[in-house]
Amino acid sequence: MAQFVHIGYGNMVNADRVDAIVSPDAAPVKRLVQNAKEQGIAVDATQGRKTKAVLVMSDGQVILSALLPETIASRSE
């Protein structure tokens, strides 16, 4: 059975499909997010707030969250 993790503001993701939870500050992550937006595979779950975490999913999707990576990681355990 799928386990879902709350990533903020009523949004949830399947914890089994999350490959990585990273901070959006590094240049390679910024490029990853920009490329995902251009390809249409980025999901913005920040509700207009600042992006504090980037979730990379097993199917290549990129999800932006306004919660800290540490918060999301602790919720997925």
Sign of CA dihedral 2, 77, 12, 53: negative
Domain ranges in the chain? 4-75
77 pLDDT band, cuts 50/70/90, is: confident
Residue 65 buriedness (CB in 10 A; 0-12 / 13-18 / 19+): buried
Q: Which residue's structure tokens are 């932006």? A: 64
In this predicted model, what pLDDT tens digit does every residue of 3-60 receive, in sequence order? 999 999 999 999 999 999 999 999 999 999 999 999 999 999 999 999 999 999 999 9
pLDDT at 25: 97
> Residue 1: is its pLDDT beyond 90?
no
CB 20 within 8 A of CB 76: no
- The whole-model pTM stands at 0.94
Burial group, residue 62, by CB count within 10 angstroms (0-12, 13-18, 19+):
buried
The predicted-structure confidence for 26-39, as pLDDT tens digits, reads as follows 999 999 999 999 99
